[in-house]
Amino acid sequence: MAAARGGLARLLAAAAVCVLWAAAAEARSPAARVHRHLKRLNKPAVKSIESPDWDIIDCVHISHQPAFDHPLLKNHTLQLRPAFHPEGLYDDTKSSLASGEAGEKPMLQLWHQNGRCQEGTVPIRRTKKDDLLRASSMRRYGRKQHTTPNPLSVDLSMLNEGGHQHAIAYVEGEKYYGARATINVWEPKIQQPNEFSLSQLWILGGSFGADLNSIEAGWQVSPDLYGDNNTRLFTYWTSDAYQATGCYNILCSGFIQINSEIAMGASIFPISNLAGSQYDISILIWKDPKEGNWWMQFGKEYVLGYWPSFLFSYLADSASMIEWGGEVVNSEPNGAHTSTQMGSGRFPEEGFGKASYFKNIQVVDSTNQLKAPKGVGTFTEQSNCYDVQDGNNGDWGTYFYYGGPGKNSNCP
Ligand SMILES: *[C@@H]1O[C@H](CO)[C@@H](O)[C@H](O)[C@H]1NC(C)=O
Ligand SMILES: *[C@@H]1O[C@H](CO)[C@@H](O)[C@H](O)[C@H]1NC(C)=O
């Protein structure tokens, strides 16, 4: 009897091990990994809106957003408004009147055609299975290779091996506490799905070594990241030169969103036409001197949220360089060039309506005021492929045209 019971016990134990083993194998399977990853990224929604571009925008309760998965944000007290604004404190009554009066709001993102998120929620672009499967590595999803142009030391070896190309304006040599720009919006053509084209501003701290701190925002076309060729609003941050920290939008926790109208990574609408209507977006990023957080505003009235100061080392104090402009990935090897466009795909000489522009570029100085940048430099690796030309006039303040077609007879 004892032996039989022992046998049964062993049998049961073996069966249990089998079940556990099967469960463990299931948990390790690629499908289960995708499922777990999606569950971590996509939080339960109060409401979901399907955008005409097939995106799903989840309206997620503000305190359930992915940022709060960050271990250092467990006890964080959500800041519902900045303690300081370089253009004067954000006025709730003014903005609600401005947007509510006519019962109509300006179209800024494509998904607005099919609905809005309610107050107290934040709109989050849902990550789909296909988004993860497109990424070369799920762990690296949203953390793609990204660079900062270094106008102080050009690495020409990058060009010969295929790499990133830029056309930018920049300032350095002072302490900066923010920057703004109004950026013309286009839909540049991308030759290969693993290339991208973006137009953005960079807030930089530290040196161009391994610990570079960066906060970035603008628009981008990135087929690999989004699965289409649409122009999307994006942000990016890193505190170690793109190595272990940082990613696009809110794909890793860090940026805390407070706004219920604008979704990171969502398509911008409308887009400029060649020799037709021109559209632009305004982005302002500034450091709140009281709390130390870096805030972002989109347009005149949408304060989107903030990056807590503790994410950064150098930027916990101030920025040492500001850059504005375009970047593309050139994946052609051996010194050849991709035909991926930057900006509108036209050179700066073509001017308004054809070339893309940044206008009213400003910095927040050490007195926390928005000022025209002093001593603006420009930089491009190969002006025959993508170029930049700056200028100054009344309405446009400090501005520049930038971009180009990439591959052409002068840029083989
Ligand atoms: C959060 O608060 C709890 C309780 O006060 C504390 O034990 C924990 O260390 C805090 N966590 C962080 C990340 O500050
Ligand atoms: C994106 O554009 C490229 C050419 O510029 C085209 O080959 C590709 O099919 C487009 N992708 C999508 C998803 O529309």
Mind listing the pLDDT tens digit for each residue in 68-104? 888 888 889 999 999 999 987 655 544 433 343 344 4
Residue 57 clears pLDDT 90, i.e. is over it:
yes
Residue bearing the CA closest to ligand 1, atom 5:
75
Distance CA 74, CA 227 (A): 33
Residue bearing the CA closest to ligand 1, atom 4:
75
Cβ of 189 below 6 Å from ligand 2: yes
> In terms of Cα–Cα distance, which of 299, 300, 281, 353 is closest to 91?
300
Cβ of 53 below 6 Å from ligand 2: no
Residue 22 clears pLDDT 70, i.e. is over it:
no
What is the rounded average pLDDT for all residues in the chain?
Answer: 86
Q: According to the 3-state scheme, what is the secondary structure of 263-322? A: CCCCEECCCCCCCCCCCEEEEEEEECCCCCCEEEEECCCEEEEEECHHHCCHHHCCEEEE
Residue 191 clears pLDDT 80, i.e. is over it:
yes
Say what the pLDDT of residue 100 is: 37
Say what the pLDDT of residue 41 is: 87
Choosing from 216, 261, 323, 381, the catalytic residue is 216
CB 166 within 8 A of CB 197: no
Please, is 14 exposed, middle or buried when counting C-beta atoms within 10 Å of its C-beta (0-12, 13-18, 19+)? exposed
Q: Is 301 a catalytic residue?
A: no
Distance CA 347, CA 362 (A): 23
Ligand 2 centre to CA of 188 (Å) is: 11
Q: Is 327 a catalytic residue?
A: yes
Choosing from 195, 261, 327, 332, the catalytic residue is 327
Say what the pLDDT of residue 40 is: 86
Cβ of 228 below 6 Å from ligand 2: yes
Residue 209 clears pLDDT 80, i.e. is over it:
no
Mind listing the pLDDT tens digit for each residue in 379-396? 999 999 999 999 999 999
Give me the residues paired with residue 48 across strands. Answer: 58
Ligand 2 centre to CA of 221 (Å) is: 11
Residue bearing the CA closest to ligand 1, atom 2:
75
Output 150 or 172, whichever has higher pLDDT: 172
Say what the pLDDT of residue 101 is: 39
Distance CA 285, CA 305 (A): 10
* Mean pLDDT, residues 168-183 taken together: 97
Cβ of 221 below 6 Å from ligand 2: no
Ligand 1 centre to CA of 75 (Å) is: 6
Residue 105 clears pLDDT 50, i.e. is over it:
yes
Residue 221 clears pLDDT 90, i.e. is over it:
yes
